[in-house]
Amino acid sequence: MALKATICRATLQIADMDRNYYHDHVLTIARHPSETDERMMVRILVFALHANDALSFGRGLSAEDEPDLWQKDLTGSIEAWIDVGQPDDKRIRKACGRAEQVYIYSYGGHASKLWWNQISDKLERTRNLTVKSVAQSASKALAMLADRNMQLNCTIQDEQIWLANDRDTVQVAVETVKTPSAAGY
């Protein structure tokens, strides 16, 4: 018998002073049986970094044709495709062809660097790809905030990020690994 997703709920208060975005979101997160607390919390962090009314969670690990998060316009066109982890270059290239902007948020320290070193040459000409890396110490600390029902606050100011619950605050370092190139395909 297949294991079912665990449903987690989060009330996320976002104060993003860099984008002048102040909003509360009530999130329902389906956590795949193979998904770790670390990965789930990185998904929540990424939601906070890109938050707007059109952003939603995809089916994630259970669907190869959907990202972890995406933003669609009113016509159904994909404005932003956002994946968490270390997707292969084929998946990334396919996403770059389907969406206006593609964002990859890797985590995992040294493994993340090895992943990028292996695929970066194949993606250097992508015109709409941004790759960022969440520091391993931060992603591990975020995992400690995970719970089935969460009350979270995210503050972003001067590119500094803090995610907190009622017990702990985690300062998150996110490094930009790749920005979109001017050259097309």
Q: How confident is the model over 49-92, as pLDDT tens digits?
A: 999 999 999 876 556 778 999 999 999 999 999 999 999 999 99
185 part of a folded domain: no
Tracing tokens 């329902």 back to the chain, one arrives at 28
Instruction: Indicate the average pLDDT of the chain.
Output: 92
pLDDT for 59: 73
Q: In what helix (H) or strand (E) does residue 136 lie, and over which residues does it extend?
A: helix 136-143
139 part of a folded domain: yes
Mean pLDDT value across residues 157-174: 96
* Residue 94 exposed, middle or buried by CB count within 10 Å (0-12, 13-18, 19+): middle
Nearest of 103, 61, 48, 63 to residue 79 by alpha carbon: 103
Phi, psi of 163 (to 5 degrees): -125, 130
pLDDT for 61: 58
Q: What is the CATH number of the domain that holds 81?
A: 3.10.640.10
63 part of a folded domain: yes
144 part of a folded domain: yes
Structure tokens belonging to residue 37 = 């607390």
- Residue range(s) defining the domain that contains residue 95: 6-178
Position 5 confidence tier, pLDDT thresholds 50, 70, 90: confident
98 part of a folded domain: yes
pTM, entire model: 0.92
